[in-house]
Amino acid sequence: MRRTARTLADGREIIYFDTDPAALPREAEDTRGLPEQAPASEMRRDPLTGEWVALAAHRQSRTYKPPADLCPLCPSGPQRPSEIPESDYDVVVFENRFPSFAQGVEVDSGTVPGMPMVPSAPARGRCEVVCFTPEHNTSFGELSRARVRTVVDAWADRTEALGRTPGVEQVFCFENRGEEIGVTLHHPHGQIYGYPFVTPRTERMLEVAEAYRAEHGRHVFGDVIAAERSSGERVLVDSEHWTAFVPAAARWPVEVQLAPRRQVPGIPALTEAERDDFAATYLEVLRRLDGLYGRPLPYIAAWHQAPVRTDHDLSWLHLQVFSPMRSADKLKYLAGSESGMAVWINDVTPERIAATLRES
């Protein structure tokens, strides 16, 4: 793989990841007249839960469902410059033009006026966009294994780079797919967030892992994988290095976890063989997901990695893929119990969805 870093017209970084190291050099210039970025993201801590909330009002003006011929994630063409100056690419990563977290945020730290118990601070971090392919009308599940492997290497590269970014405490790689999820750009792409704090979900998983290790002397995720493989009832794919399964306490109507059988804290720690094997395993999972209802399945694919500076020994890298579709044409809404109390109620058993996915 070859890595080439360039700069867009407004100073944002763009990085090309080429599967073939001998590919043509990436030298195209961004000819657009873009204003300099001035992100003004703020974050405030909820005094009742201790959780940080990001406020990014400038995102209201971000690009919303443009026609295919105006897609900002397609390669640039004659008289049609896009976010990617090149006329072609393999995998490309660039700083988000409308970031929730960014460097150089000019917001004062302190407290919310009249609310001394609500700290506020600049939402300093980094948000990036990952384009998986130059092809507009395709999906991650239709990529070649070689291209998926390049994406994995890009994720690893950016996880390490964002981990060195001032103020970043956790790196989150993810993909949103489908309008039902809230996607506003249909080109196959994902995102990477460098959070200025450790997320609530990660904090909770680390607390549970620490308590389980204190009681049993082992990592809870390792025991989960071993038990799932022994049972086999919820396992979809069991490859040389990865196990993909529907979790026994699945929250979503469709939910799959992919985990390496070896404990690693994050994507950069995966071996060459584990990265290759992931590409094959994940493509098989996505094929089954798209076959579930006979239509492209809307989903969120979320990588769970260790925080940047802490608890690497308590973390176990895994990818969670889930969908709110409880049938081909019905959504699961996060209503009273889920949204109000964070108590999930699933309308389908994990065993049933696993059996259906194995048949798809």
E strand or H helix at 209, and its extent?
helix 200-216
Hey, what are 353's tokens? 């969805």
Contact 100, 163 (CB under 8 A): no
Q: Spot the catalytic one: 189, 241, 304, 318.
A: 189
The residues, any chain, with a CB within 8 Å of residue 107's CB and separated by 6 or more, are 40, 41, 42, 120, 121, 122, 123
187 marked as part of a ligand binding site: yes
Instruction: Respond yes or no: is residue 241 known to be catalytic.
Output: no
Hey, what are 92's tokens? 């490309």
Q: What torsion, rounded to 10 degrees, do the Cα atoms 345, 351, 353, 357 define?
A: 160
Distance of CA 255 to the CA centre of its chain: 15
Q: What torsion, rounded to 10 degrees, do the Cα atoms 209, 299, 160, 241 define?
A: 60
173 marked as part of a ligand binding site: no
The residues, any chain, with a CB within 8 Å of residue 84's CB and separated by 6 or more, are 14, 73, 74, 75, 76, 92, 94, 131, 134
DSSP codes joined into one string, 85-142: -SS--SEEEEE-SS-SS-TT-----EEETTEEEEEEEE---EEEEEE--S-SS--GGG
Hey, what are 313's tokens? 């020994």
Report the catalytic residues.
189
Q: Which residues are annotated as a binding site for Zn(2+)?
A: 71, 74, 136, 187
